Structure formats: structure tokens, C-alpha cells
Chain A
Amino acid sequence: MTITTGKKKEKIDRLSELAARDDERGVSLWKEAFRRLRRNPAAIVGAVILGLFLLVAVLGPFFVPYAPDAQLWKGEIRLGDFPGPRAENWFGVDHIGRDEFSRMIVGARQTLLVGVVSTLIGLAVGSLIGGVAGAAAGLGGRWGRAVDNVLMRFIDMLLAMPSLLLAISIAALLGAGLTTVMIAVGVVSVPVFARLLRGSMISQANSDYVLAAVSLGVKKPKIALTHVVPNSLAPVIVQATLTLATAIIEAAALSFLGLGNNDASIPEWGVMLADAQQYLDSAPRLAVLPALAIIVTALGFTLLGEAMREALDPKLRK
């Protein structure tokens, strides 16, 4: 197969010398997306917020000054008057004499746990359903479309219910508790992931490189796994980051309604918010602090998610 003439070869050699400058390896799309991400100020702000949050959530509980459930200042509680911020209690004392600062720190871990686990539940179940439906619809022919139809009508049923209502129903069925909150919030995000991955896979399955793989003789399941899925993941990853933010808010909402964690020894921002509402006029900081923490964390995830969306968007590639 050597038809290259001497002249052409020379030209090619020259070109190869020119091109073999500093970067020997090609740059994959993931690497390039990461490079773009690093240049985006929103991504940096989001990453810093999340970094701090992670640090506090993982390491914080080992360094808290007081046990979060110890009612050390019970004696100082007067009706409608709790000790405010002071040297030994940085954020003051709550309504039954516990150190608010320690509770906030330990609550961060709970919030992270609920957010991550419920998002993972949604991501895993949703991607499985969406992946099967997408592969079936995109590559499976007539029977594939039937499988896709059944799966997607089930997803549509989940999607038809308001998410908080669905979460409340699940929580009511399973009884209050931390696991319940995770499952409920996770199930709510299942249809989003399923539809997203399915749609993305169908559009990829119609692209020319899939046709090229078919014409090479590659088997359909292999095409689905090696070509279609990797090219469909970008929007799902972005959605997972954004879902972490909503999961935290939804978990807080469930806890606020009393369906969340009922173990008083493990503080959680949502529960703290719910407890604080009775003392809004006397000690507003008890509500403001956990609310602020929830907002800032959710903002961090959203900023990073939006930045990732931009970095992974093929239209913005330069």
C-alpha cells in the first residue's frame, strides 16, 4: 500500500518534525474541557465554595469544640432569650442550650451525605433506565422502540408528579428517617437523568460515526458501550452537579416538614431551620445561619455545574 512518492514522503517528514514540538500526545476532549473549566471564574468560585464545604463536612466533626447534642447551657435559657454569639459559643446557643457552631459543622456532613447519596441513587437508577431505553430506541430497531416506549411511559408517570409531593409520599410510605430522605430525593431525580441520557443517546446513535462503526462490522452492544454512551455522558455529568444543589434543598425541605432525620443527636441544616422558626423574632440567627449555609452550598454546586455545562458544550469549543 505504498504509493507515496519520495517527494511526498519528504514533505510529510518535514511536517511531522514541525508538529512534534512540545506536545507529543493528542489532547482528548475531556482534557480540553477541563482546561476550559479552569479558565472560568464561575467554576473557580464554585470549586472554592465546594472545597471549603467538603473540608468542613469531612474533617470538621473531628474538631468541633462541643458535642452537638450536649445541652451544656440549658441553665442559661430563658423564655425567648438565648445566649448570642460569644467567646465560647461563636454562633451562640440554640433553644435547648446546645452550641450552634458545633451543630452547624456536624450538620454539614449530614447535608453532604444526603446530597451525594440521593444524587447517586438518582444517577444510577436513572442512567440505567435511560441507557437501556436510549440504546434500544437508537440501535434496537422495531423491538427496541417497543422496549423504549414501555420504559419511557413509566418515567413519564414519575415525571407527572410534582417532585416534592412525590418525595413526601415516598417518605410517608417508608417512615421518617435519613435513609428515607435519601431514597425519596433520589427517586425524584430518576426521571430527569433517564430522559437526559436517553435523548442524548438517541441523537448520538443517529450520527455518522455510529453508522461508520456499523459499516466496519462492529456489534451493536459494543457500539452502544464504546461510542454512544461515552459521547452522551457530558449532559448527564452536568445535570448530576446541578442535582446535588437541588437534592440538598429538597432534603432540607423534607427535614423541615419533619419527614427527615428524627435522631436529635445528629443535627441537620433542614431540621435546624425547622426548629428555629418558633424563635424567629427572638433569635433570627438560628434560622438565618442554616438557611445561609444551604443557599451558599447549593450556589457552589450550581456555579460549578453551569461552568461544566459551558466547558462541555461542543458549540462553544474553539
Chain B
Amino acid sequence: MTESDILVEVRDLKVHFPIKRGVIFDRTVGHVKAVDGVDLRIARGKTYGLVGESGCGKSTLGRALLQLTPPTSGEVSFDGVELTTLPAGRLRTMRRRMQMIFQDPMSSLDPRQNVESILTEGLQTHGIGGSRDERRKIIGETLDAVGLPRWALSRYPHEFSGGQRQRIGIARALVLGPELIVADEPVSALDVSIQAQVVNLLDELQDSLGLTYLVIAHDLAVVRHISDTIGVMYLGALVEEAPGDRLYTEPLHPYTRALMSAVPVPDPDVEDRRERILLAGDLPSPANPPSGCRFHTRCPWAQPTRCADERPVLREIGASRVACHWAEQIATGELRPHKVSAQITRPAGEGEEPHVVSAPSEPGSYV
């Protein structure tokens, strides 16, 4: 990848939300580290898929990338322009080039705007299309592109089905002619039959318009289908990044292995024999993340040395980037998984000292 191929580059991005206490004079008692040091690059015209369980910070990362949530620190460069330090006025102009598609097509459309008004708003804001006729022409072309009929223009969002509403959301993003689209769970609110339609639509649009996507999802199949590169997030940081299929065939990070082992295989014999890794416990609180490797509290491969006190950085192993101290040894089978018991950690500053409660794990909660 040469420099000019990169559309978006994120360096050490952090988004920390303060936890406030008090009625009038609020004081900050801690931070929720939603995104805690993410580096990634998205190539022009490609799709970067971001997966991870709920609460791992993938949506926050997407919003911080578009400067919809102000990042705490770090850099986001879009086509060579640094966004985090850009003055508000220039940032607004830049927004034309980067758009967002939302998860819930109902709540992301203003219920009191008809489709024409929804699509015109962006055009007016950026002064695209001088006359009303010109705008109508652009809007008409966009409707064709997303497969919506012309009569949709005078209708309101509540008169459409879920799939059609998502098409309106896509049209709103497309109408400005953006280069980057951040799609935050674009299909998870839709029926499975409609999901395929919308995923295919996104695919077609990428081919015809040369769009760059950052697709955020928790559905591994959807991400696999459309992504060129996939990043796996855990507790605010990337744990592994690999080219599409490689992540599925050869997961290197223990967390990715656990994720992949949860995907059912459409072959009963393989399905019966395949190895399943069930993770014990819940995602630790991002207000009080574990020391060292964020995953060591739930990792079946965790080692007494390094894991608990040294935070692994992403390092290149083959075509992948992995944040695990023992990735090679795990891959060769030198290290074997062991039993893990669930731990409950409280956020710091909540009553007594954070302590650990161990709960007996059920038999078969590992391997």
C-alpha cells in the first residue's frame, strides 16, 4: 500500500467519556475508555470491516473518526487532511466527503421530514445544485441508485418498510457524493431477507461509485461478505487485523479464535466435531479495564508472565496484525488453552476498592 492509496489513517485514537458526580458542581470521578488507542488505515475504494461484541467501542470509533464524537486524543487524517484540529467551519465543508449510515433507519430519519426534504437538506447545506430543478435531478439519480421509486419523494419515513427506510438513509449519505461512508451496523435492524438486499446494494454502490467503507457490525457473516480488511475490537482497542478470509481461516488472537469458533458451519459432521471456545464472564468495565492485555481476564491461553502487566501492541505476523504476546506459540499449538473462571470487576471509585469475585465456571466453558 502506497501513501496515496490510503484514504483514512487513524493514529492512537482515544475517546474517553468522563463519569460525572454531583448536582451543581459536578466533578469527574473517572473515565469510560470507550476507545483506547486505535491505529488503522483504510485504503481508497476498499472496505474495512470492524467487528466486536456490544460495548467494545466500535460505534464510538466510527463516530470519532467522523468527528461526531470529539476524540480525547490521537489523529485522524482524511485524504491527507488532519480532522481533529480542523476549525469547525472547514470541518463542516469536509463533511460532504464523508458520510454515515445508521443502524436504526427509523430513529435516524426525522419523522417530520418527507424524503425530498431529507435529501435536499445536505444539498442546501453544501450549496450543491444551484436551482430547484438541478437538485431534483441529483435527488432523482440518487433514488435510482438506491432503488427507490420517485413517488417516495413526497412520503414520510413512517410510510416505508424497514428496508426502504434504510435505503433512504443510504440515499441521504450518497446524495452529497461522498468518498468515505461509515456504516454503523447498517443491516442489524433489518430482516434477514432484507439484509442481503442492503448488503448487495452497498456492494454495487461501491463498484459504481468507488466508495470507501468502514462497516461496523457484530454479524461476522455480513462483515466477511463485504470486507477487504477486517479489524477485531475488544474493550476499546484492536486485537487483530487481517485481510478478509484470512481472519476466518487462520485467526491468530485468542479472542478472534473464540469469535470464529462461534460461527456455525453448514456441515453437520464438521459442526459436531469442531472445537468451540466459550468465553467465561462478561466484557470488563471500560471504566476500569484490566491491566496489561485487556483480554487476559477471559483468555484461555493467558500466561502467568507478560499477559497481566504488559499491554501487547499490534505486530505483523504474516499478512495479519495481532496484539498478543503469544500469538505464534498459540498458532503452533505449543500453548494449550486452560480453564478460566469468570471475574467481576467494578469500575474504580465506586464504593469500596475494586475487587474480584470468582464464580465457578460451568464444565465445558473452555475448549
A residues at B contact (CB < 8 Å): 1-4, 8-9, 12-13, 15-16, 19-20, 24-30, 32, 149, 153, 207-209, 211-219, 227, 230-231, 314, 317
**Complex-state Cα separation, A317 to B106, whole angstroms:** 13
**B149 adjacent to A215 (CB under 8 Å):** no
Contact of B112 (CB < 8 Å), options: A25, A29, A317: A29
Contact call A1/B142, Cβ cutoff below 8 A: yes
Question: Quick one: which of A2, A212, A217, A218 contacts B108, CB cutoff 8 A?
Answer: A212
Given the known interface contacts A213-B121, A215-B66, the answer about A8 and B107 at a Cβ–Cβ threshold of 8 Å is no
Contact present for B109 and A209 (CB under 8 Å)? yes
Q: Work out how many contacts link A and B, with CB atoms closer than 8 A.
A: 110
Tell me the complex Cα distance, A153–B92, Å: 34
With A3-B208, A28-B114 as contacts: A212 and B144 at CB distance below 8 Å: no
Q: Is B264's CB within 8 Å of the partner chain A? A: no
Question: Is B346 interfacial (CB 8 A cutoff)?
Answer: no
Taking a contact as CB atoms under 8 Å apart, the answer to whether A212 and B111 are in contact is: no
Determine if A216 and B125 form an interchain contact, defined as CB atoms under 8 angstroms apart.
yes
Residues of B within 8 A of A (CB): 24, 63, 66, 68, 92-93, 95-96, 98-100, 102-104, 107-115, 121-122, 125-126, 141-142, 144-145, 147, 149-151, 154-156, 158-159, 169, 172, 174, 176, 204-205, 207-209
What 13 new A-B contacts, CB under 8 Å, besides A211-B102, A214-B68? A1-B208, A2-B145, A3-B145, A3-B205, A16-B149, A25-B154, A29-B111, A29-B156, A209-B109, A211-B100, A213-B121, A215-B68, A217-B93
Indicate if the CB atoms of A208 and B111 lie closer than 8 Å: no
B156, A208: Cβ atoms closer than 8 Å: no
Chain A residues contacting B108 (CB-CB under 8 Å) are 207-209, 211-212
Minimal Cβ-Cβ distance residue in A for B184:
A208
Interface of A is mostly: helix
Cross-chain contact of A231 among B111, B142, B207 (Cβ < 8 A)? B111
Which partner residue on chain B sits nearest A4 by CB separation?
A: B144
Contact A16 B150 (CB under 8 A): yes
Task: Quote the shortest CB–CB distance from A235 to chain B (angstroms).
Answer: 15
In the complex the two chains form, is B125's CB within 8 Å of A217's CB? yes
Q: Is the CB of A215 within 8 A of B112?
A: no
**Given the contacts A2-B141, A209-B110, A217-B125, A28 and B150 also touching, CB distance less than 8 Å:** no
A1 in contact with B151 given A27-B156, A208-B102, A208-B107 (CB within 8 Å): no
Which one of B24, B63, B126, B155 has the greatest number of beta carbons of chain A within 10 Å? B155
Residues of A close to B112: CB separation below 8 A: 28-30, 230-231
Provide the residues of chain A in CB contact with B172, threshold 8 Å.
212, 216
Q: Which residues of A contact B99 (CB under 8 A)?
A: 215-216
Task: Report the bound CA distance from A231 to B151 in whole Å.
Answer: 24
Q: Does the CB pair B142–A212 fall under 8 Å?
A: no
- Find A218's partner among B68, B107, B121, B169 (CB 8 Å cutoff): B121
B95 touches A217 (CB 8 A): yes
List 21 A-B pairs, Cβ < 8 Å.
Answer: A2-B141, A4-B144, A4-B145, A15-B149, A16-B150, A16-B151, A27-B156, A29-B158, A153-B24, A207-B108, A208-B107, A209-B108, A211-B102, A213-B121, A215-B68, A216-B172, A217-B93, A217-B125, A218-B122, A219-B125, A317-B158
How far apart are the CA atoms of A239 and B108 in the complex, in Å? Answer: 27
What residues of chain B lie closer than 8 Å to A29, measured between beta carbons? Answer: 111-112, 156, 158
In the assembled complex, the Cα of A106 lies from the Cα of B95 at a distance in Å of 61
What A residues does B122 contact at CB under 8 A?
216-218
- Which of B103, B121, B204, B205 has the most C-beta atoms of chain A within 10 angstroms of its own C-beta? B121
**Complex contact A20–B114 (CB within 8 A):** no
In angstroms, Cα B155 to Cα A27, docked, is 7
Tell me, in angstroms, the Cα distance from A9 to B148 when the chains sit together: 10
Whether A207 touches B107, Cβ cut-off 8 Å, given contacts A16-B151, A26-B159, A231-B112, is yes
Cα(A275)–Cα(B104), bound, Å: 61
**Chain B's nearest CB lies how many Å from the CB of A261?**
42
The distance in angstroms between the C-alpha atoms of A27 and B100, with both chains bound, is 27
Distance in Å: Cβ of B196 to nearest Cβ of chain A: 15
Q: How far is the CA of A217 from the CA of B122 in the complex (A)?
A: 7
Find the B residue at minimum CB distance from A25: B154
Chain B residues closer than 8 Å to A8, beta-carbon distance: 147
Query: A230 to B147, alpha carbons, bound, how many Å?
Result: 30
Chain A residues with CB below 8 A from B144, complex form = 1-2, 4, 9
Question: How distant is the Cα of A12 from the Cα of B209 in the complex, in angstroms?
Answer: 21
Q: How far is the CA of A27 from the CA of B92 in the complex (A)?
A: 32
A163 to chain B, nearest CB (A): 24
Q: Name the residue among A2, A211, A216, A218 with the largest chain B CB count within 10 angstroms.
A: A216
Residues of B within 8 A of A216 (CB): 95, 99, 121-122, 125, 172, 176
- Complex Cα distance, B144 from A212, in Å, reads 22
The interface residues of chain A lying within 8 Å CB-to-CB of B126 are: 217
8 shortest A-B CB distances, which residue pairs?
A26-B155, A208-B108, A217-B95, A16-B149, A217-B92, A216-B122, A3-B208, A209-B110
Q: Which residue of A lies closest to B105 (CB)?
A: A208
Q: Is the CB of A227 within 8 A of B110?
A: yes
Q: Given the complex of chains A and B, what is the CA–CA distance between A233 and B208 in angstroms?
A: 42
Given contacts A208-B102, A214-B68, contact A26 B149 (CB under 8 A): no
Partner of A26, one of B68, B102, B104, B156: B156
Residues of chain B within 8 A (CB-CB) of A153 are 24
Does B104 lie within 8 Å of A19, measured CB to CB?
Answer: no
A1–B145 CB distance below 8 A:
yes
Tell me the bound Cα distance from A286 to B209 in angstroms. Answer: 80
Is the Cβ of B145 less than 8 Å from the Cβ of A26?
Answer: no
Structural contact, B100 and A215, CB atoms closer than 8 A: yes
A residues within 8 A CB of B93? 217
A108 CB, nearest partner CB in chain B, Å: 36
Known: A212-B172, A216-B125. A1 touches B24 (CB 8 A): no
Q: Would you give the shortest CB distance from B38 to chain A, in whole angstroms?
A: 20
B residues less than 8 Å from A209 (CB atoms): 107-110
CB distance from A230 to the nearest CB of B (A): 5
B331 → chain A closest CB, angstroms: 40
